[in-house]
Structure 1
Amino acid sequence: MASDKRTRSASEGQNPVIDFDVKQGPVRPYIVSEPQEKLAKVRTVYSLKERFLVSCLAVFTVIVRMRNLSWPNAVIFDEVHFGGFATKYIKGLFFMDVHPPFAKMLFAWVGILGGFDGDFDFETIGKLYPASTPYVLMRSVAAISGALTVLLLYFTLRSSGVRVWVAFASAVCFAVENSFVTISRYILLDAPLMVFIAASVYAFKRYEIYPTGTWASYKFLTFTGIALGLAVSSKWVGLFTISWIGLLCVWRLWLFLGDLSKPVCSTLKIAVAKGTFLLGIPTVLYMVFFYIHFQTLTENSDGSGFFSPEFRSTLNGNTIPTDILAEVGVGSTVTMRHLGTMGGYLHSHSHEYPTGSQQQQITLYPHLDANNEWYITLYNQTNTTITSFENLVEGTKVRFLHPSTQRRLHSHDHKPPVSENSDWQKEVSAYGFEGFEGDANDDWIIEIDKSLSTPGPAQERVRAIETKFRLRHAMSGCYLFSHEVKLPQWGFEQQEVTCAQSGKPELLVWYVEGNENEFLPQDAERVSYKTPSFLEKFIESHKRMWHVNKNLVDSHVFESLPSSWPLLLRGIGYWSSEHRHVYLLGNAILWWSVSLFTVVFSFIVIFELISWQVGKPILQDSDVINFHIQVMEYLLGFLIHIIPSFMMKRQLFLHHYLPAYYFGILAFGHALDIVVSYVFRKRKVVGYALVASFTVACICFFQFYSPLIYGTPWTKDLCQKSQWLSGWDYGCDNYFNTYEEYDNEIIEPSQQPSVTPVSSIVAHNKPSDSVDQEAQNQQQIDLDTFDEMLNEPGQKRFVDQNGNPLDIEDVRRIIAEEGGGIHKIEERVVE
């Protein structure tokens, strides 16, 4: 015990950077790859003085993040989604989201601990929280995560060789980074994601300072794997962190191979151990959380519509057909599903195309409906000439009669109404009338896809569910086709069906789901959808998540490009009401300093490489070497987390930059340290004074812009002075002129914020496929009134509940769908 105290006392105040251990080999000198034993001692928080400092940092950070969490007392920004998902977890209602489940489940678990029973739906931005919703407790998950992230940044910098006071100053700057404070106050995924990424970075940096094979190294390697698992289970951004650590492992293994004192076999053992801990643990955790996710969400809901019937059949209350007649043949009344999309069933209704042939529409419709039914005959039969059952085999030429409207599935040489610019697509319609025997353009030839059909008889003849087939138009040779193109309002925004000469093969495939046939005996064979295994559900859910995520391409009023993020050209409006704002904006002092340092360091490295190539000596100082190594590793993390954003076509926002920015702050912490340890080595007081001045500047910026974080009163004049860039587009006219006006204000939060979301409705065709004439008349009056309103002076803007901008046609559609008077639309206009 006495020896331990002496060791701790001796380590206090020591330089956390030590020289590399270089030995002479038979031919060349080499670097010993294993860290020296004393390295961990000088980079560990031992002294009471430093522990007190960390305690002060923790108290300060908690105060900053926990301050007045109850305000705003209404739903803000993406709390609509993630609070709503917590409600669904509690109720067991299945939903679809593009993110993995862990962070969402975390909010739900805390809500349950607070007595939340899911009676609040988080439906719209600005909706007041009732007393029964423990939203403050749920928000505290993000606040605690944010506070822990600050502490982890401090410990990470200490583990990578930054001095105590510089690490403390860096952590204080991070504690008052406006954007991280903002994301740490609400029911959003960003704060939990960041604490898991920060934990991964810290654990791996601790692992690096211990000799391989020691208990401490395995402990922190395990900790790294767990943190990575939690990160990737919260958002797929965690995959970038795994990639970063993977590259650092490859780099370190390369150094091991150059270490002549280390046998090659030991390097292989280390590689296997790292793969097991850093890939195996995250994989297991990721799958466990999805298993819990599936076991929790057991009730059928609208969110299940993204998934296959097999998947949906596992949910309670599903409407997926069961015990379906297996054999499909002449005289069968069937419903046919499209395999390649989730558009649903082949459908028709008594409405015509406005262009082309102006014949009856053919669409895909996602719900069960009598208009999905088709009666099968041979091409030379009518429904009155069928006397017995006959199987449908490869090459059978058939016709499909729509019983509800007595028209047949038809194609001809007309361009489709929406995809009219595609030379390879033809219109598909329903043509005929009652008693009409049809014509050659009604003929379709069955082609069974054996590779997709269930092995056995389903590959020889059409069987419900099991057989996958294409329908080739006998006259033109094109195939019945659908894709994720929606018809306009006149087609009830249902999915377009055409006849395609080419196209992706999976978009040409169909199968029979519903099947009835009076010519089959009562005890005829029946089939149902096969219940999928956990692994099958896991794989399908990821296909859906990837598909939906990459198709989030609609423009958004607050979206931004990755190239603008390092410059902080704009932020994100979270909430606006009661003459107050919550607006995501970074701390420009720290933000721009990180961006500038990234550029400057790049030029320094290029200059040093050129100097080295022309024979000039390079610095051998241990502080400088450690500075280069650590900064390059952190900036590698910065690049890995931001470069994929440039390849994405989906909506992107400023908060997507924060993981990369975190790595940039770590690198900048080393920049502050090199100022003290090398630039002003002989006048450290000056170096520390510069670091302190920078910290004060960050705190001043934070304090001045804090009304945008906490949604507190501000004055119009101060707000206008704060808008350094035109992209900082929070509305200053919303604030009072003086603080005294706030003192006289009676706070009665409205149910909707000033930028009120317009309901974004995906219109589905009603079973009746008709609209009441009186409602049509009222809608026309509303549309006329809306047109008059557009002619009034003043700029108008329309957004949906997620802030997505809507054009004038979108608003007209909503009027037509919702009805209820033009006053509903006026409440949603933002001038």
Structure 2
Amino acid sequence: MAPKIAVPEKGAKKVKQPTAPSTASTTAVSSAEAPVAKADEIIDDSSNGPIYLVAKPLTIAEARKEERYYNFALFMVTILSFWTRFYMLYHPDQVVFDEVHFGKFASYYLQRTYFFDVHPPFGKLLFALVGWLVGYDGSFLFENIGDGYVQNKVPYLAYRALPALLGSLTVPVVFLTMKDSGYSLAACLVSAGLVLFDNGHITQTRLILLDATLIFSMTCALYSYVKFMRYRNSPFGRKWWKWLLLTGLSLACTISTKYVGVFAFVSIGLAVIIDLWNLLDVDRGLSLKKYAQHFIARAFALIVMPFMIYLLFFQIHFWVLSKSGPGDDFMSPEFQETLGDNEMALLSKPINYYDTIDIKHKDTGAYLHSHPDRYPLRYDDGRISSQGQQVTGYPHKDANNNWVILPTVDFPENDRLGHPVNGGDVVQLYHTVTGTYLLTHDVASPYYPTNQEFTTVSPDDARGPRHNDTLFEIRLNNGKKDQFRTKGGFFKLIHVPTKVAMWTHTKPLPEWGYGQQEINGNKNSQQVSNTWLVDEILDLQDDRLNVEKKKVKHIPFIKKWLELQIAMFRHNNALTSSHPYSSLPPEWPFMLRGVSFWTKNESRAQIYLVGNPLGWWFASCCLAVLSGVFVADQLTRRRRYYVLAENVRNRLYNSAGFFLLAWAAHYFPFYIMGRQLFLHHYLPAHLISALAAGALLDFFYGNPGVFPVAYHAPGATPKTAEKKKGEQVESSVQRPPTMYPPSSLISYLVSGVIIGFVCGVYWFFKPFTYGDPGLSVPQVLMRKWMNFDLHFAK
């Protein structure tokens, strides 16, 4: 039914008030601000600018009835969420996909063995807590996909129950976020339904993976901020502080699970900045002192407190992992010496001049090696070599790996023992088998025309005309002048004349180099992969064989944390290798590719990460339409066409605009990332797109007054238009504290159709979600969507 137009009576007195800004701030809107209740009146006064929707309040009985409807819907959504996530949680009883990593990390925590990972510790600590609570000792290390849980007595159901629980709770939080944003019941059901019946969310949140913790924490952050904004007109009250602090806590848990959680900070941070900008307006009546209090409260709750919680999780991480383990090699010698039973503390020995040593590359494990064979005259690309003796990287122990470390000027014959080598010393390296000295010079290496070739020269040349080319500086990675030691004394070998650093990589040399690694001089001497260590000292005298065991050291927490942060970011950025199931951001909104998690040949069963195609396409289309609505509104306003009721428009920008902003913050940054990316990276953005889809549905169908009669002022001058922009018709309607937006019959029909079809598609792809039952070739081909790399399709 068309809305009634209320025309002011002739001669009626008009009271003018300042209106809300024509472009509303992009921040979460509360139900108290939304045009809620039975909307059946519109005020249209052409002399006073844009029109406004006037809402008729609900009675107390009507409000309680609506509350019961919402509660019943929330209850049903929650039950279905638990069923979809916990259904067949026991299957398969084998290691699936990245459970090899996060299950293993939980075992390392339980064994208190130090490991290294590119993700922060919170999500992994939760898995370790589950293992500890059920009394597991962490003896199973999740080495391979397909390894059995039952025969290894692993409490995998307890582990999987944690993400399943968090995934189940995510759906009702989505529902509550929509409800407390002031949306109709139909809109709440659509948003929750798109997540409830999404195969991708279900698959990712019922296995031993971090995404359930990440997505639940992010959703709680959005919900808490929406709740906080409901109380923005009662600042510094108990509930205002409660929801502000809960927003900060949720943000802390988000970024402490995965670093992509920073996108949640960006989403809420931008909304907070806009909110603070609006509060700065003098018309708000805030003194600068009061404004400073608002600023400090938000800075503490959303920056300082989350950072302290983030540090706390790392403190727990260091406290639990007190023993030496597989993560030692990623850390500095100083860090390693803080771990019990570390090789540095047990076996590290000081290195003296004239010791015979073998030198090992930290990243590849190859030893510095040389043999009598020569470089070819010409390489495959036509470049000419020096034809000098080959210097290569060799992965096994061998006599050709042995080098004597010499001073640049010999000590007297009777005083050569006991002189320590220190960081910063300039030395020569003598190859024991061929009797030559290590050298690098301005000749291109076999594979890198920009890097220098390494070779060796005779003793006569080393002592004579080529002496300077054989000089190398021992530059310890900690930058200190400490004594040079075996095992953990990480160093760079810097050529004195040219300042290049000795480096190697894994690409094997051609047949002439026996498939060994190339050694060359890297002009980027600061590159971390230039790092080497001395593995052992050969032919030690008896008095140096037994070294007193070093005590476990202590270094400040902040120093350990900073070192680990740098290592995590460096290795995270280094994850650039290709993967058969990786995908790119343009493919995600339309779910063009999935990820194979697990297969079983005997039953033809498989778990394949795939979202709900209908749900993803629908949500993506809603994002496009919503963006179009904003563009159309801005264009029409430029021509002074006021198509939307002003309070409806404000809510559109404040709430749907906030969701659109959050989606963009969780999606577009992936375009500038160089690391491996997979479909599951889009799941947080997909959840937010579900919120935006519900908001768009409510915009079109939740209120009969969304498209009131347009007001156009073609002859208005800029001055008169600006005057009208600041005026509105006074409304004497008082809104009660509890109100609900209406759900029209058409909105229920539309939402029912959407949820019904989404549920049907979920059921169709269910065999890929739960890994049961196995499908025949025709059944697999029926489910081959776009570029799905499905198993058993032929």
Amino acid of the structure 2 residue aligned with 1:201: L
Residue 570 of structure 1: which of 575, 593, 597 is its match? 593
Deviation at 1:668, TM superposition (A): 0.8
2:305 corresponding residue in structure 1: 281
Counterparts of residues 88-107 of structure 1 (less than 5 Å): 88-107=108-127
Residue 683 of structure 2: which of 658, 671, 694 is its match? 658
Counterparts of residues 383-394 of structure 1 (less than 5 Å): none
2:721 corresponding residue in structure 1: none
| Aligned CA distance change for structure 1 residues 194 and 535 (closer, same or farther; 3 Å) | same
CA RMSD of aligned residues (A): 4.4
Is the CA contact 1:395–1:446 (under 8 Å) kept in the aligned structure 2? no
Counterparts of residues 663-812 of structure 1 (less than 5 Å): 663-678=688-703, 684-713=744-773, 714-725=775-786, 727-733=787-793
| Higher RCO (CA-CA < 8 Å; seq separation 6+) | 2
- Residue 212 of structure 1 aligns to a residue whose secondary structure is coil
Once the two structures are superposed, residues 582-628 of structure 1 have per-residue CA deviations (whole angstroms, 9 ceiling, x without a partner) of: 11111122211111121222222222212211222242253343123
Is the CA contact 1:396–1:445 (under 8 Å) kept in the aligned structure 2? no
Deviation at 1:398, TM superposition (A): 4.5
TM-score of the aligned structures, taking structure 1 as reference length: 0.74
Residue 170 of structure 1: which of 160, 184, 191 is its match? 191
Instruction: Provide the C-alpha distance between the structure 1 equivalents of 2:762 and 2:547, rounded to a whole number of angstroms.
Output: 74
Greater alpha carbon shift after TM alignment, 528-537 vs 58-67: 528-537
Amino acid of the structure 1 residue aligned with 2:177: T
Counterparts of residues 397-416 of structure 1 (less than 5 Å): 398-403=427-432, 406-412=435-441, 414-416=443-445
| Aligned CA distance change for structure 1 residues 376 and 556 (closer, same or farther; 3 Å) | closer
2:670 corresponding residue in structure 1: 645
Deviation at 1:165, TM superposition (A): 3.5
Deviation at 1:689, TM superposition (A): 0.8
Counterparts of residues 526-545 of structure 1 (less than 5 Å): 531-545=554-568
Instruction: Provide the C-alpha distance between the structure 1 equivalents of 2:316 and 2:103, rounded to a whole number of angstroms.
Output: 18
Counterparts of residues 151-550 of structure 1 (less than 5 Å): 151-210=172-231, 211-258=234-281, 259-320=283-344, 331=354, 347-348=368-369, 355=376, 357=387, 359-363=389-393, 374-379=403-408, 381=410, 398-403=427-432, 406-412=435-441, 414-419=443-448, 421-422=449-450, 425-431=451-457, 440-441=465-466, 443=468, 444-445=470-471, 453-454=479-480, 458=481, 471-472=494-495, 477=498, 479-482=500-503, 487=508, 496-500=518-522, 503-504=525-526, 531-550=554-573
Deviation at 1:385, TM superposition (A): 8.5
Structure 1 runs not aligned, ≥5 long: 1-21, 735-831
Deviation at 1:75, TM superposition (A): 1.2
Deviation at 1:647, TM superposition (A): 0.6
Instruction: Provide the C-alpha distance between the structure 2 equivalents of 1:31 and 1:603, rounded to a whole number of angstroms.
Output: 17
How many residues are matched?
698
Instruction: Provide the C-alpha distance between the structure 1 equivalents of 2:477 and 2:114, rounded to a whole number of angstroms.
Output: 32
- Residue 339 of structure 2 aligns to a residue whose secondary structure is coil
Instruction: Provide the C-alpha distance between the structure 2 equivalents of 1:37 and 1:564, rounded to a whole number of angstroms.
Output: 35
Deviation at 1:446, TM superposition (A): 5.7
Instruction: Provide the C-alpha distance between the structure 2 equivalents of 1:427 and 1:718, rounded to a whole number of angstroms.
Output: 58
| Aligned CA distance change for structure 1 residues 613 and 361 (closer, same or farther; 3 Å) | same
Instruction: Provide the C-alpha distance between the structure 1 equivalents of 2:264 and 2:474, rounded to a whole number of angstroms.
Output: 45
| Aligned CA distance change for structure 1 residues 563 and 34 (closer, same or farther; 3 Å) | closer
Amino acid of the structure 2 residue aligned with 1:691: S
1:8 corresponding residue in structure 2: none
Is the CA contact 1:25–1:260 (under 8 Å) kept in the aligned structure 2? no
Greater alpha carbon shift after TM alignment, 657-666 vs 410-419: 410-419
Deviation at 1:310, TM superposition (A): 1.5
- Residue 703 of structure 2 aligns to a residue whose secondary structure is helix
- Residue 575 of structure 1 aligns to a residue whose secondary structure is strand
| Aligned CA distance change for structure 1 residues 445 and 306 (closer, same or farther; 3 Å) | same
Instruction: Provide the C-alpha distance between the structure 2 equivalents of 1:396 and 1:317, rounded to a whole number of angstroms.
Output: 30
Are 2:158 and 1:137 aligned?
yes
Deviation at 1:692, TM superposition (A): 1.0
- Residue 439 of structure 2 aligns to a residue whose secondary structure is strand
- Residue 658 of structure 1 aligns to a residue whose secondary structure is helix
Is the CA contact 2:645–2:705 (under 8 Å) kept in the aligned structure 1? no
Once the two structures are superposed, residues 321-367 of structure 1 have per-residue CA deviations (whole angstroms, 9 ceiling, x without a partner) of: 679887x87545567788xx7567973355857655462434498x9
- Residue 250 of structure 2 aligns to a residue whose secondary structure is helix
Deviation at 1:377, TM superposition (A): 3.4
- Residue 280 of structure 2 aligns to a residue whose secondary structure is helix
| Aligned CA distance change for structure 1 residues 536 and 163 (closer, same or farther; 3 Å) | same
Is the CA contact 1:115–1:134 (under 8 Å) kept in the aligned structure 2? no
Instruction: Provide the C-alpha distance between the structure 1 equivalents of 2:69 and 2:764, rounded to a whole number of angstroms.
Output: 31
Once the two structures are superposed, residues 188-218 of structure 1 have per-residue CA deviations (whole angstroms, 9 ceiling, x without a partner) of: 1111111011111111110000122111010
Residue 135 of structure 2: which of 115, 122, 127 is its match? 115
Once the two structures are superposed, residues 683-717 of structure 1 have per-residue CA deviations (whole angstroms, 9 ceiling, x without a partner) of: 92122211111111111111111111111223433
Instruction: Provide the C-alpha distance between the structure 1 equivalents of 2:326 and 2:750, rounded to a whole number of angstroms.
Output: 57
| Aligned CA distance change for structure 1 residues 379 and 225 (closer, same or farther; 3 Å) | closer
Instruction: Provide the C-alpha distance between the structure 2 equivalents of 1:492 and 1:599, rounded to a whole number of angstroms.
Output: 57
Instruction: Provide the C-alpha distance between the structure 2 equivalents of 1:699 and 1:196, rounded to a whole number of angstroms.
Output: 25
Is the CA contact 1:472–1:479 (under 8 Å) kept in the aligned structure 2? yes
| Aligned CA distance change for structure 1 residues 396 and 246 (closer, same or farther; 3 Å) | closer
1:60 corresponding residue in structure 2: 80
Instruction: Provide the C-alpha distance between the structure 2 equivalents of 1:410 and 1:656, rounded to a whole number of angstroms.
Output: 48
Structure 2 runs not aligned, ≥5 long: 1-14, 38-62, 377-384, 707-741
Deviation at 1:555, TM superposition (A): 1.0
Amino acid of the structure 2 residue aligned with 1:221: L
| Aligned CA distance change for structure 1 residues 117 and 168 (closer, same or farther; 3 Å) | same
Is the CA contact 1:156–1:201 (under 8 Å) kept in the aligned structure 2? yes
TM-score of the aligned structures, taking structure 2 as reference length: 0.77
Greater alpha carbon shift after TM alignment, 34-43 vs 307-316: 34-43
Is the CA contact 1:335–1:515 (under 8 Å) kept in the aligned structure 2? yes
Instruction: Provide the C-alpha distance between the structure 1 equivalents of 2:478 and 2:159, rounded to a whole number of angstroms.
Output: 46
Greater alpha carbon shift after TM alignment, 345-354 vs 313-322: 345-354
2:583 corresponding residue in structure 1: 560
Is the CA contact 2:220–2:250 (under 8 Å) kept in the aligned structure 1? yes
2:60 corresponding residue in structure 1: none
Identity, % of aligned pairs? 28
Greater alpha carbon shift after TM alignment, 488-497 vs 69-78: 488-497
| Aligned CA distance change for structure 1 residues 537 and 390 (closer, same or farther; 3 Å) | closer
Instruction: Provide the C-alpha distance between the structure 1 equivalents of 2:97 and 2:705, rounded to a whole number of angstroms.
Output: 46
